[in-house]
Every structure is written in structure tokens, then in C-alpha cells.
Amino acid sequence: MTKQYETGLMWFRRDLRVEDNAALYHALKSCRQVLCVFVLDREILDLLPRADRRVEFIRESLVDLDGQLRQLGNDEGRQRAGLIVLHAWAAEAVPALASTLSIDAVFTNNDDEPQGLERDTKVGQALALSGKAFHSFKDHVIFERAEVLTQTGKPYSVFTPYKNAWLKKIDDFYLRPYPVRQYGAALIDRPPTYNAPVPELAEFGFEKTNLSSLKIPTGTTGAAVLVDAFLERIDQYHATRDFPAAKGPSYLGVHLRFGTVSIRHLAAIAFRLQTGGSPGAAVWLSELIWRDFYAQILSNFPHVASRSFKPAYDAIAWEEGLEAQTLYEAWCEGRTGYPLVDAAMAQIRETGYMHNRLRMVTASFLAKDLGVDWRWGERYFAVHLNDFDLSSNNGGWQWASSSGCDAQPYFRIFNPVSQSEKFDAQGKFIRKYLPQLAGLSNAALHSPWLASPLELSAAGVELGGNYPYPVVDHAKARTRTLQRYACVARQP
């Protein structure tokens, strides 16, 4: 078969796997010989703290990816196949590498985040100036951009009709994996200059975190372990997913974020099990569709990256000055006096993970109990979440603050106590992250300020000492929130 290009470069980004990788498949199929690169992009990394779990996750997953590529090469008789890893500014490094290696075409998978689009435009332009092609493919979602539209040809802004259209459109074609190994013979040995192992964290300025002690599995090997474990309990997902102390979620968020598992693989599993009657799989498939939904919202309405989806919500007068900063810091540090909120904030600080139910509770608390601009919380999650994904994080925060598409009504305000009593009734989650409250009875645990002095003393809890009084009264905060959102209620 005649190949379109002599030499191609596969540029990995948020797709750290060999199996079912769209761009890698097209590179191997279209080029007589292919090299692979990942750039530790200084445009992103230079802004991060020197100890960042995501960077360590990426580094460990690159080791896994390098091993996969070496094996693929070995299967074809190559001795030095593998991954070229650079620490540089990607917008400059990729065109430069393409020139050095006499590359004819660069292949990569789409990144629809604003920063990614800007970077890819620069790369594409630089390559074009030197007569090189740039090809980008859909890989991170099932349907992207304008693939699912209303009957009038417009993007959906309400989830349920989007989901119905998604389910109507889905078929085996969209779920079929790319047969990468069929074209593995095109993968060639790396030039001697680039035949180096994946650099250690310290070599590009980072430190180890508690990732290994948290036992967060990395790479496609780790993702496969999590998928297998989740499939054993997926049928009960609908019944367990809202309880933070239960092993209900898939815990695959970080793997979806960095592409160490294929979304087509997961959606195919969920779709097959749903068709077979699994209620848990049906709910989980809906969660995967929400992911697609928020991705197309960011793509079609890019203003959401910095402003409210609903323009009227940008008129809300959030708390400002020292008062806002004080409340925000109490929220960040888990000092609000509401145990479920504080335990959730301890969880994200200590692990980089937060249960989805708690993401809703803490986001609602910041925006609607404390009156702090939702964008402050969005930025905090962006720094601390292992699975941070701009579209999903932004969509979730706008949903909680009622400023987004298909969001909860502005007058729906989560009560942090009733949420605690409903979803952590036995206090197992709270006690894990707030051990100073462990001695309280279940009845007192959710609202310690209502406990008797005798019970507090017996449990070793000192309000205002080892645990704070509530920073706000929820009932009064609710009234203030309704007043704050009055400008929205008056909109026609």
C-alpha cells in the first residue's frame, strides 16, 4: 500500500496510550516511518507548584507509554523504538523537532481548550511555513464540537435532549477501536540523540508527591486494573455513586483526563451493559455523556472559560474585599464549621480527589452560602484536582452556581447539614478526614454546634479550638443568596 508521507511524528498530549489512539493509528497508517514525542510543556508546567500529583502521574504514565512503544517496536524487530520526551515550550519544540528529524507531517489528537487551540494554531502555522503537514483527530470524546446538533443546526445547551440525540446517533462505528497494531511496522527506532529514558521528576524541576502512597495506579496498566475492578460493581453504580464513604465511583477520572484509557472503550462497555439491562451502567453512561456535553459547550460557547454561560449571571454582586478573602480561605482550608464541607476540602488537599457529590456540595456552599464568586472555586479545583479537565470543571461550577447551561435553579441551595445526614449518615467519611470529630455521636457529627457542652467535652471537641464554629448560618445565608440573585430573577 502506498503511504502518503515518508516520515511522520506522533505528538502525544492527553492520550497517553498506544491502544485505540486515533492520531497514532493515522500516523502509522499514513507514513512509511513514524517517531513519537511528548513535550513536558513549560507553558503549563512553569505555572505549577513544584510538587504536583498530576505531573507525577504524567511522568509515570509516560514510562508506561514508552514501554508500550518499545514493545510495539520489538514486535516489529526494532531495538530502539520508544518515546522522545522533551522539556520545552511545545509551540516551539514540535516544529523544531520536525525540522531536525526531517518530518513530513505531524499527527496529534484534538485539544479544544482555549490554550490548546492557540498552541496548535501556532504549531500548524510554523509547520506550514516549512512545507510540513499538521493533522489533528478526535480522540478525547465520543462526539465533539458540532457533531451533535439540534434540528435547527445549533449546539445543545440542555443536557437531556443532548443525551437523547447522543444515544440516537451512537452506533458501532463511533465505538469501534482504532487497530493501531495492524500498522505497527511503521514505528521506527529513535535516532541515537533521542534514545533516552523518560526523565525523572527532578530532571525537569519537580518533586515527588504522595501519589504512590495514595496507591493511585498510573498508565494504561493502572487504568486496566481500575476498569476491571469497577466492572465488578458497575451494576450497583446507580445506588452507590452518591455516598462518599462507599466504593461507588469508577475512579477513572484522571485516566480519562490524560487518555490512559480510551473513552470509546469505556462507552462501548457502558452501552453494551446498559443494553443488557444494567441500571448502574445506564447511569454511568449518562455521566460519560455529560462529559461529552460539557466538552461541546466549551467548544461552541468558548466565553464560558471566563464568563457565565448565562450573561445575566455576570451581574451578580459577589462578596468582595477582606470579607470575601476570609470566607474563601476558610473554605479552602476546611474551616467552615460544616463537617461535610470541611471533610471534602480535606480530601482534595490530601489526595487530589473529591467525590462528585461533594464537588456539588462544596461548590454550592462557596457560591450560595458564602457568596464568593464561583470562579474562585473553579480555579482552586483547577490547581488541586488530579482529574482537572477545563470543560467538566467549568461546567460543574457553573451548574452549582446556576450560571451555566442546564444548571440547577438559582433558588436551589444545598443544605450542607441535610446533605451530610443523607449521604454520610454514619459519618464514616467525615470521621476519616476530620478525626478530631470522631468521638461525636452520629446525631451530633453533622452539626457539632448543636451538640451539648457535655457531649462535646466527652468527645474532645472544642468549638473555636480544634474545630471551628460555623462561619455562616445557613438559613440566613440562604436569604442573602436569594437577594443576591434577585437581579437574575428579574430577567425576562
Domain made up of 1-137: CATH architecture? 3-Layer(aba) Sandwich (3.40)
The position carrying cell 468558548 is 302
- What ranges do the domains of the chain cover? 1-137, 145-177+220-300, 311-487
Which residue among the candidates 92, 144, 318, 449 is catalytic per the annotation? 318
- How confident is the model over 445-455, as pLDDT tens digits? 999 999 999 99
Domain made up of 311-487: CATH architecture? Orthogonal Bundle (1.10)
Please tell me the distance from the alpha carbon of residue 392 to that of residue 387, in angstroms, as a whole number.
10
Residues in the chain where the model's pLDDT stays below 50: 492
Q: What is the pLDDT of residue 275?
A: 96
Other Cβ atoms less than 10 A from the Cβ of 382: the count is: 14
What is the average pLDDT score of the chain? 97
374 is catalytic: yes
Residue 462 in grid coordinates: 472544642
11 is catalytic: no
Identity (one letter) of the amino acid at 218? T
Which residue among the candidates 374, 378, 386, 394 is catalytic per the annotation? 374
- How confident is the model over 205-240, as pLDDT tens digits? 999 999 999 999 999 999 999 999 999 999 999 999
pTM score of the predicted model: 0.97
Which residue among the candidates 11, 166, 284, 290 is catalytic per the annotation? 290
Could you tell me which residues are beta bridge partners of residue 88? 41
Domain boundaries 145-177+220-300, corresponding CATH code: 1.25.40.80
Residue 123 in grid coordinates: 504549531
397 is catalytic: yes
Which residue among the candidates 287, 300, 442, 449 is catalytic per the annotation? 287
- How confident is the model over 80-135, as pLDDT tens digits? 999 999 999 999 999 999 999 999 999 999 999 999 999 999 999 999 999 999 99
Which residue among the candidates 300, 356, 415, 442 is catalytic per the annotation? 356
166 is catalytic: no
